[in-house]
Amino acid sequence: MSVFVYGAILGDIAGSRFEFTRPTDFDPKRVDLFGGASTFTDDTVLTVATKYAVLNRIPYAKAYGRFGRRYSKVGYGNLFINWFTTFSEKGYYSYGNGSAMRVSFIGSYFDTLEEVERQAKLSSDCTHNHPEGEKAAMATAAAVYLARTGESKRTIARYLHKRYGYRIHRPVAFYRPFGKFDVTAKGTMPLAIRCFLESEDWESCIRNVYRVKCDTDTVACIAGGIADAFYQGTGFPEEELLRRFLIKPNENGEFDTFLYEWATLSPEALKKGEIEPTQI
């Protein structure tokens, strides 16, 4: 079973350095996706936390809290920081896009669309229990599931519009004059879905994100996860890039391999007892 978290994580990394500033000669068609200033953000940490929660069969809230406290300086919003520092496990009615960027594993792991959507809602409710937060998580996970099970873009688009009401008929070009940094789920989802729908492969999906000023890392994380599932890969040396960006020195100067280990962990190998991953 393939598990499509690489496309979401690499989308986060590719989008990270253009979230707030872009050079004057910025060209979305030619700029290097993985430049020296690229880094993982909270999107990656919580994507891996979701995988950790599912494979260890622990509540999403516990995993998000543990990962948040371990990687505390990667760009979380203030509400989430307060949530994990106070060891809260209750939702704070957020309607931000944070519920959507962390669910690609759910869409690629569970066997039915119904279970995918149920798990996505559970993962959202411990923080983003606003209807828009729930909807964004469920729609993203559903899109990944439909993509990895062979549905066409037309079918995926129709489902997301009919089931979740997202207006996704507007082309990416429509968003360019109005582009802005928008962290709401409602503002993020139509653009992320559209970037996927207009793509030809994973790379072009991320370059579509670059065309619009937006919450670049999160839009690329969401769209990249869907594209990864649809195209069955990113076309990049995935584990090499993940090793490069995820293995960083910790506060003691020692290389921390924990995030990389869980990002690349094979669920099949874990089930068979072939490996013993580090626990948090």
pLDDT digits (tens, 9 = 90+) for 185-230: 999 999 999 999 999 999 999 999 999 999 999 999 999 999 999 9
Q: Is the dihedral of CA 99, 102, 106, 108 positive or negative?
A: positive
pLDDT class for 6, splitting at 50, 70, 90?
A: very high
How many angstroms separate the Cα of 87 from the Cα of each of 12, 71, 76, 126, 258? 26, 15, 15, 12, 21
Domains of the chain (ranges; CATH) run 6-18+38-77+92-271 (1.10.4080.10)
Task: Give residue-wise pLDDT tens across range 34-71.
Answer: 988 899 999 999 999 999 999 999 999 999 999 999 99
**pLDDT above 70 coverage of the chain, percent:** 98
Task: Collapse the DSSP code of 277 into the 3-class scheme (helix H, G, I; strand E, B; otherwise coil) and give the result.
Answer: coil
Residue 197 tokens read as: 């729908």
Task: Collapse the DSSP code of 122 into the 3-class scheme (helix H, G, I; strand E, B; otherwise coil) and give the result.
Answer: helix
* pLDDT higher than 80, residue 251: no
Task: Collapse the DSSP code of 276 into the 3-class scheme (helix H, G, I; strand E, B; otherwise coil) and give the result.
Answer: coil
Strands (DSSP E) found in 205-247: none
